[in-house]
Structure 1
Amino acid sequence: PGGRHVEELPALLPWAAGSLCPAADLPGAGSPGTSRMSTAAQQKAAPSPRAPRTPNPAAGPPTPVAADLLRSARGWPPGVVQPQGREHTQEDPDSLLEVPVSFPLFLQHPFRRHLCFSATTRETQRAWKLALQGGIRLRGTVLQRSQAPAARAFLDAVRLHRQHQGHFGDDDVTLGSDAEVLTAVLMRELLPALRAQTLPSLRGAGRARAWAWTELLDAVHAVVLARVSAGLRAFQPEKDELLESLERTIRPDVDHTLQLRARVAGRLQAYVQGPLESCLRREVDAKLPRVTRTLLSTMEAVIKAVQTLLAQGMDRLCRHLRQNPSGPRLRMEVYSFGEMPWDPELMQTCYREAERSQGRLGQLGAPFGFLGMRSLVFGIQDLAQQLMADTVATFLQLADQCLTAALDCDQAAQQLEKVRGRVLKELPGFEGDVLAVGSQALTTEGIYEDVIRGVLLQRINRELRKALGASDISCTLAGCSESPGEKEEA
């Protein structure tokens, strides 16, 4: 709203591990102020930039489920509509319910008090929902999207640390900045002891007890986040020195190190090949086609939505070029076309396809222990946005090369249509870009994991060939037969 970019909302984006959507999106939502909301559904939040309005007594009181959510609400950012009345305090959470909320939205975080906002109109509610959804997604996947070696090393370190703690599956703990990721890891490790030590001593019952636990959890999270952030800042000078020392140590011996790594990988592969193949035949082969079909059906739906949206934008450009080639409307259309990847309203049609697939993707959780549903959906949405951005840039660059002042309107439109066909023809080739694998640390443990991962990737690759009907997809053994330039896997 107001032309602000989604990444310019720092007061709310720390909820990157949470979820966002208006109450109207929840099952059973009815008229404002009287809707029923399911606690099992994901509750999300969005603020309104408008001033508070006079309460509408006819709207009726919130239902008990909505009341529970409102009771857990915390402070309000500037310019956001909030329930009016007497002062809201920790001792008097029921005062939040004095004024009915017309368009409630909720922002939920696993370790912080939930936020509740009220928009003045349904249009404002939707605008803030889309803006914050994009901001939360971009904030949540900032490390995954980064190509910096430091970001990849950080994620590898977190993964190895969690494996030492006994967590071998994927989940959403790596969403957010480095400080937020470390805080989430520490909070999960602290929770069992925190529950055992504090829950028996909490006074009250029911809602009062739950409120006290929420307050405590929020306070602990704030302390952990502050200390982690301070620790990362203090570590920066030492990290720079360590990197310089590491570079001086590794650079002269990099060839020898890679050769040694390849020899160790070969011995490990020979050692585990038999048991690993037996395990994969027993545990993986029967389930892999289902996983492949589920992921590819989701990707196909998202890419089809991108293709449709892109075709509509290119058609508008061709139409306006014929009708008004030199007018301000054409310039506006060109600008709007270039901004499509960052238009939350337009891209929502693509993002919604990924969200609709959550039910199918969620079925992978029980048989495979996969818990990273939000990370997977965010990753698909990131891919859709990046694919749209790359395709739009390609179209504009090719159009700039073929359009000259010597062409009339019809000739220019014909050239654009040729570019349109060329760009759309290439899009289906991206359906195989589902999985990406990075390299591991130069340790025996990392090489051992690479060997297992590489054998599994070969099976995934074969299944992808069957599903896509392609013969040109190649997948090397990660870290073993991979050449220095080959970093992307199928």
Structure 2
Amino acid sequence: MGDVISTHLDEGKREMITARARQVMGEFGHVYKEQYAVALFNSVRFEIEGGGGPQSQLLHRKNPLEDHSIFSGGLFQYLEGNKKWRNRFVFVADTYDVSFYENKVAHERGLHPKGTINCAGYKALTSMEEYLDLVSTSLPGVKAKVGSGPFVKGATQFPLILWHPYARHHYFCVLTEKEQTKWHAVLQDCVRHSNNGLSEECRVQTPAFTDAVRLHRQAQGHYGTWDMMCGGPPQILANLVMETLYPELRNLIGPRLKGKIKQRQRNWMLISEAVYKQVLSQTQAQYEALVQACEVETPRLDAALRTDMDQIITSKEHVSGKIRALVLPRAEQLLRRSVQPYVSSILEALMEPTSRGFSEVRDVFFRELVEVSKNTLNGGGKDKLGEHMEKISMLAFHPVKMQSCYEKVEQLSLEGLQQRFDVSSPSVFVQRAQILMREQMDNAVYTFEQLLHQSLEEKDQRGENLCKTIQCCQDRVLKKYDYDSSTVRKKFFREALLQIIIPYMLKQLAPSCHPDLPPFQELIFEDFSRFILVENMFEEVVLQSVTKDIMMAVKEAAVQKRHNLYRDSMILTNSDPDLHLLGESPSVDWAAQFGGGDEESDESPEGCGRSKWRRRQVVSMIKLDGMGPLPYESCLEVPGVDFIPEEGEMEEGVDFIPEEEEEEEEEGATPMEPEPNSPDNVQEIRYLINPVVEMVVPASEEDLAVLTNGTEPGMLTLEGEEEEVTLITTVVEEVHRKSLQWKSAPQEVSKQLIERGPDQKAEGELQEKGEAAFEGKVEGIKDALQEMAIMIHEERQDQVEAAIEGEDEAIENAIQEIEMAVQEEDEDRITECAVDSDAELAPPLADSSPRHHDDSGFQSLTNEALDEGEAQPMKDVLKTEDSLTDPGEVEVIVEQGNAALHDNSETGEDSETEILYDI
């Protein structure tokens, strides 16, 4: 590899790279010094005159990630040196830099990492195909064939790749799709944060730098948005140098590369990385010298500004009026012809996904607070509140939980408008919207924390009162979030429209206006010439010409309420002074005050000091649960593809399968044994305390109450041991039995009844006879069942059997009487009576043996489809004066199966009617 770089990057090419970087930095430095003085003037003027937009209603946290890190865990990393995969422990700090160590012990000891990745300018990929497409664009004319494999063979089927157009690419692998999803969300968050590296709190350096970069690119003919405006100033300047240097080197070195396509792509990536490192080292050193020189001049410039502020403002307004008279007519004409027809389309393309994203932020915040309320009510009140709030406090910085919000904005598309207005990619607006969403989520969480903490200090609340307090604070914060998110979105829409439209208008007006601008510089006093620049005033005039249309478009969208936007007049300034006083309070330490989750010790196991912020992690670590150390930790071999398990194999002894843990756990903690399942209701507790015994006796549906009457708790001998009976549950199970009297199926009999039609008179006579027979039968069965229940209670099983045998003849006689009464009438009416009466006729008692049969000949149509032996809940239980049972002593559960009865004397089939006693 070193030979490739030294061969193609000889001394002459390195000198050319150095000269190009020095040239770009010289041109940029001149523009930066001019813009630095202008930015200082604007900052001092703003400080003196004041101003600003509507006041935020939510509180802002000063240092949200204090005492926290983002994520950590094990990954397979591809080593370029020996082309092998090796396990690394990866740690993502609160700076969002990705550091990887030899193992976890090296990190705990505070050793230097093997490497650190600043994710600015990178793209996090999970597909090797997508990566190869990006690699193929690096060398024109050198494109791999369709279906050709990658030059980096993945260790598993779940890759994670960090791609950069100039810098080194990084390859990782994990074993499960869940790990891949979580790591991808974390890496995307690192990229998002790093690309937003310029702090808005620097009111002089940040605007001076961004304007200098923009003007420098415009001088080169590059208008519009720029994807590589990401990272810190040295990285942005390195990208600025590579923007023109990279194509030249590619055309110079690309044709000289030898080998196969994959090897040529790999070699070019190594060369590009070496060039980028060289350029970055130069831009970093020269930018630091440039900033230091400007800071030396700052006191003198600041004094001159404060002394002559009025004269400078008057001079600027005078010159600006003359420039406006020249530029404004041309700008308005261009605006009406080429911009106004597209403003509403651009705004709609921006508003739809952005509003969905902010709405999802609100929903996620609401769902998390609902979970806090539920867990607090069910888990011990304030004792568990700290644990839940400790997780909620970092909700905005949890990449996995915020992923659903970010995905909504990623649907933003400017298709059709992108080429017309020279927008390189919508990613600039997507990442900016995602940063604003994260800020609003953190503001809402922080405000909720302060309000809840204040309420808890004022009153000692528990249970339902605590849930009501949480609900009250939640509603208050959500209302404030609605107003703040509306203000933030409208500001985002205005800035995005300006970023799209202004470069386009400047590009169109520059050829006709720029030749007329130099004479205006002579109208500015020499002492004020550093603070008033004609180029800046020209852009301000163009900005003013389009601002009115942009403001009107956003205002109309707010009036329509299509995306939950509010007019600024509805946002009250300083509407909640008591709340803003809480903004000066430090963040609440829920873990310390209310007993939150466990924290790691400040000292490592080896006794080496560890920084405090490493103790808590926003996203739970992917680590083993009860497993030993990861395999391949010190091995350079690539794990085979066959080693990759499926999801269902994770619990079958595979040692290298990280499990996703949704709750934070202490690093290095031993796995806990699974807790036994606790009873969820009174019934389960009762079953745990008392033994359950099932006794099978025959019974009918009508005589259930009689059966249980008189049965009281007592002692029962089970398997030779006496057990105390405190609960008696009766379950009746009836088993399907075939009919011997009727050979036709019930469906056929019913069909014949319907075809012949009703006979009211015969039906009435039949009904009377059937009822009389049934009443006699029921009375006999009641007496028999009551006596049998008493026998069971006294543990005289022999008497129970004798009583059952005695009553069997009585039951058969009653059935025969019914059959004789039925046979006197028409056969069809007999069938109908039998069907209608079956709901009231329970099966006769049988012997206490589970193998008893009879030839009752009745089959219930309603139970026809039930499986044999399957217990079903009984719909009704006959209650009589003689069958009253104390509900406190007896609990009856009836499960009724098929009511059809059979006689084993003729069929030989096994069937039964069971009463199950749960004791």
Q: TM-score, normalised by structure 1?
A: 0.76
| Aligned-residue offset at 1:370 | 0.8
Equivalents in 1 of 2:252, 2:192: separation in Å? Answer: 35
Equivalent residue for 1:456, pick from 546, 550, 556: 546
Distance in 1 (alpha carbons) for counterparts of 2:550 and 2:443: 27
In 2 relative to 1, CA 65–138 (structure 1 residues): closer, same or farther, beyond 3 Å? farther
Bigger mean CA offset, 340-349 vs 381-390: 340-349
Instruction: Give the aligned length.
Output: 414
**After superposition, what is the alpha-carbon deviation per residue over 1:20-43, rounded to whole angstroms, capped at 9, x for unaligned?**
0322xx8xxxxxxxxx65745899
Residue pair 2:225, 2:428 contacting (<8 A) in 1 also:
no
Counterparts of 1:304-343 in structure 2, within 5 Å, are 304-324=359-379, 326-343=381-398
Q: Which residue of 2 aligns with 1:415?
A: 469
Tell me which of 556, 561, 566 is aligned to 1:466. 556
SS at match of 2:93: coil
Which residue, 473, 479, 485 being the options, matches 1:425? 479
Contact residue 101 and residue 118 of structure 1 kept, 8 A: yes
Offset of residue 407 of structure 1:
4.3
Kept in 2: contact 1:19–1:42 (CA 8 A): no
Write out per-residue CA displacement over residues 388-444 of structure 1, whole angstroms, 9 at most, x where no aligned residue.
Answer: 011111222222334432545333322332322222223333242324489x97411
Provide the C-alpha distance between the structure 1 equivalents of 2:203 and 2:171, rounded to a whole number of angstroms. 36
- Structure 1 alignment gaps of length 5 or more: 27-35, 44-62, 72-95, 475-490
Alignment equivalent of 1:447, drawn from 518, 521, 537: 537
Q: Matched residues in 2 for 1:240 and 1:419: separation?
A: 46
Question: Which one of 365, 387, 390 corresponds to residue 440 of structure 2?
Answer: 387
Please report how far the alpha carbon of residue 230 of structure 1 lies from its aligned counterpart in structure 2 after TM superposition: 2.1
Over the matched positions of the two proteins, sequence identity in percent amounts to 23
Measure, in 1, the Cα distance between the counterparts of 2:531 and 2:246. Answer: 30
Which of the pair is proportionally richer in strand?
2
Give matches, 1:21-100, under 5 Å: 21-23=125-127, 39-40=132-133, 67-68=149-150, 71=151, 96-97=152-153, 100=155
Q: Distance in 1 between matches of 2:374 and 2:566?
A: 39
Maintained 8 Å contact 1:13/1:136: no
Structure 2: state its 5+ residue gaps: 1-70, 73-90, 100-114, 137-144, 500-529, 560-564, 570-919
TM-aligned CA deviation for residue 162 of structure 1: 1.0
Q: Structure 1 counterpart of 2:464, which letter?
A: D
Shift, 1:139, TM fit = 1.0
Q: Distance in 2 between matches of 1:174 and 1:136?
A: 13
1:311 deviation in Å?
0.6
Sort the Cα spacing of 1:380 and 1:408 in 2 relative to 1 into closer, same or farther, 3 A: same
* Conserved? CA contact 2:382–2:462, under 8 Å: no
The worse-fitting range, judged by mean Cα deviation, of 304-313 and 233-242 is 233-242
> C-alpha distance in 2, partners of 1:214/1:243?
42
Partners of 1:20 and 1:42 within 8 A in 2: no
Give the partner amino acid of 1:451. V
Q: Deviations over 1:77-135 (max 9, x none)?
A: xxxxxxxxxxxxxxxxxxx54x7533212111111342222223333323322222111
Deviation at 1:300, TM superposition (A): 0.7
Q: Measured at CA, do residues 324 and 205 of structure 1 come closer, stay the same or move farther in structure 2, by a change above 3 Å?
A: closer
Q: Which runs of 4+ in 1 moved over 4 A?
A: 36-43, 63-66, 144-148
Deviation of the 1:152 alpha carbon: 2.2
Structure 1 counterpart of 2:98: 9
Q: Which moved more, 1:463-472 or 1:186-195?
A: 463-472
1: CA distance, partners of 2:135 / 2:468: 48
Letter in 1 for 2:407: R
TM-score by length of 2: 0.42
Is the counterpart of residue 295 in structure 1 residue 399 in structure 2? no
Structure 1 pair 315/455, CA: closer, same or farther in 2 (3 Å)? Answer: same
What's the counterpart of residue 49 of structure 1?
A: none
Q: Select 1:188's aligned residue among 235, 243, 250.
A: 243
Map 1:246-265 → 2, pairs under 5 A:
246-265=301-320
Instruction: Give me the whole-angstrom Cα distance separating, in 2, the residues matched to 1:41 and 1:206.
Output: 14
Specify the alignment match of 2:449 in structure 1: 396
Work out the CA distance in 1 between the residues paired with 2:551 and 2:133: 37
**Structure 2 counterpart of 1:206:** 261
Q: Letter of the 1:446 partner, please give it.
A: N
Report whether the alignment pairs 1:229 with 2:319. Answer: no
**Distance of 1:234 and 1:168 partners within structure 2:** 28
1:153 matched residue in structure 2: 208
Match of 1:348, SS?
helix
Whole-angstrom distance in 2 between the partners of 1:249 and 1:37: 56
Rg larger in 1 or in 2?
2
* Distance in 1 between residues matched to 2:328 and 2:453, nearest whole Å: 54
- Return closer, same or farther for 1:42/1:312 CA change in 2, 3 Å cut-off: farther
- Calculate the aligned-residue CA RMSD, in Å: 2.9
